[in-house]
A and B are shown apart, each in its own frame.
Chain A
């Protein structure tokens, strides 16, 4: 067991209990925070875009080519990731992410 910290678009930080093997997108969605996850985690839509805190960035598996293709469709920062492509494991206890703005 462990947690992730998610800052929503209003700037409020939430600490969410995480479940091993779940995608970070699924954890965020399951707790009812506003993350769309339109394609259901198929890496096809980029609506689960998050910014990962600098200190955590290097501890994640790097994005696949497929994820980079999807990140092309949103406004990114160097710490942009799709949360559906981050599988939560106990090594990610305390992971810190911020929900990216949604398009207009």
Chain B
């Protein structure tokens, strides 16, 4: 079943800049939906450095990545944005005119479609995707013998499973799949794991009792007539090689960022960035804006604070598309009763 949603603005990316755009649009009575490929909001702040202190957010001598995201969520709460997480925007199609833009946006996972008057791309470095190990012809086995995520455990019943990695995902799936796999092998670069200690302990006891194998080394090539995986060649630190028989390999090497489908939307691109003007932060397509790390213009600094500024200015132009008849009055939240009403703080 496909959902269809009509709204004012679709924001692609729920990182700090996309979140703050909700605030600036909200003050102008503009409703929005946010789409993000991650299962949670916050983008890089939440995914890459939730615990890391940030020192250059105005007004915060120090705030962590997650702390900033939590505060932004509290700040935009009055505007009730709708989040579509775990979804990637697959297509963006212009169905309006430059004077009255209209867009159809479609996501991949649920196939939700949106009709909206403006699109704000706040996608940072692109969409987070599993890091693929640089093994020749690995693509040939993807979906048949190589998986970067476990969607259904049943798929791995009675299979010879090779899990690669030393983090939480690798260790969690080792412990979870071991009981149903025909044989499970865990491969890691070194004998140290950065996963929950009790999971590491559990894995070690399974190795000690002979119920699974642990090898140290790295996969250098894959064996089997494509696309049927039969084994992986592993190189140890001393340079020697051996083969592990396996039907499936699950590499868990963390996430990386890719521009993805954005490249196919007819936007001008410059080295994987989207050029915009510095008055409205609009792209070469009327009604499509780009703010935050994903845009470029003379003097661009990839700072969160720049993205906040860009969102505020873009919102002014979005207002003209959403309310072509209305004149926009510039107001301050300190003094405007109407803005305070929108924020739910009017006396």
The answer to whether A6 has its CB under 8 Å from any CB of chain B is: no
CB-based contact A39/B134 at 8 Å: no
CB distance from B34 to the nearest CB of A (A): 22
What's the Cα separation between A67 and B29 when bound, in Å?
46
User: Between A and B, how many residue pairs show CB distances below 8 Å?
Assistant: 58
Q: Which one, A38, A42, A72, A104, contacts B257 given CB within 8 A? A: A38
**Which of the candidate stretches B79-87, B107-115, B186-194 sits at the interface with the other chain?**
B186-194
**Which of the candidate stretches B69-77, B125-133, B201-209, B273-281 sits at the interface with the other chain?**
B125-133
The answer to whether A71 has its CB under 8 Å from any CB of chain B is: yes
Complex contacts, A47 vs chain B, CB 8 Å: 256
The answer to whether A60 has its CB under 8 Å from any CB of chain B is: no
CB distance from A28 to the nearest CB of B (A): 16
Complex contacts, A68 vs chain B, CB 8 Å: 190, 192
**Which of the candidate stretches B44-52, B154-162, B175-183, B283-291 sits at the interface with the other chain?**
B44-52
Q: Which of B134, B167, B192 has the most CB of A within 10 A?
A: B134
Give the number of chain B interface residues (Cβ < 8 Å).
Answer: 28
Complex contacts, B219 vs chain A, CB 8 Å: 75
What's the Cα separation between A78 and B256 when bound, in Å?
23
What's the Cα separation between A27 and B195 when bound, in Å?
33
CB-based contact A76/B218 at 8 Å: yes
Complex contacts, A46 vs chain B, CB 8 Å: 254
The answer to whether B166 has its CB under 8 Å from any CB of chain A is: yes
CB-based contact B189/A72 at 8 Å: yes
Given A72-B166, A103-B131, A104-B139: A45 and B52 interface contact (C-beta under 8 Å): no
What's the Cα separation between A11 and B194 when bound, in Å?
34
Complex contacts, B48 vs chain A, CB 8 Å: 39, 42, 44-45
B interface residues, Cβ below 8 angstroms from A? 44, 48-49, 52, 125, 131-135, 138-139, 165-167, 188-190, 192, 194, 218-219, 237, 253-254, 256-257, 302
A-B contact pairs, 19 of them (CB 8 A): A42-B49, A42-B52, A44-B48, A46-B254, A72-B167, A72-B188, A72-B189, A73-B165, A73-B167, A73-B253, A74-B133, A74-B253, A76-B189, A76-B218, A101-B134, A103-B132, A103-B133, A104-B132, A104-B134
